[in-house]
Chains A and B, each alone.
Chain A
Amino acid sequence: MATTLGQAFGSGSILVKADVAHWRAALRLGGDLLVNSGCTLPGYTEQMIQAVEELGPYIVIAPGLALAHARPSELVLKTGLSLVTLRQPVEFGNPQNDPVSLVFALSAVDHDSHIDVLQLFAGLVSDQKNVNSLLTGDSIEAIRLALG
């Protein structure tokens, strides 16, 4: 159980100021980070992309911010988060909240165990000051400081 949001971001789960041309590339990076930090198996990444292709860009949950995820399955090894910050924002096709510069990816082992992590996440992104720190952070250390 993560008591701080930063704890949900395992080692190797953060990438800063990446260059991507398309939202799929951003999700692939986010998925790679989840694999990197031991949270998921590679197949989970495609599931996150398929979710958006099937349901639309509902994952862009606030201006400039996306939270990618797929269902709990045996492709999830543990609950966790990853973050890719983008040098240039990309369009996901969400008219209310595009373009996106912060791409979070979430893995959950079941439908309950990540609730506390999501509450911490909600707390973080509800405050524009935190979001600004994530947008301007130019190193993993700066990002970790902002995540708490």
Chain B
Amino acid sequence: MMFEYIIFISALMVLIRVIIGPSFADRTIASDLLINLLILYMILYSINTRSVIYLDIAILLSILSFTGTLSIARWVRKK
């Protein structure tokens, strides 16, 4: 149970950076990090409920975060 608390506190701190971050790049990096923490929490949850389907969701989330970050980097325009 301590491990979930550590993940939760880290996620709160990253959420503060998502809200504050003075540019688009800060928010993108922080949201990518939030999804990584969510992947770890999903694997813990799949161990807890002994069900294998949550691992497929975790694989898909990592792919989604990767393509989302790359599309923001590709299509940001100079002001």
A binds B: no
Binding site for B on A (CB under 8 A): none
Interface residues of B (CB under 8 A from A): none
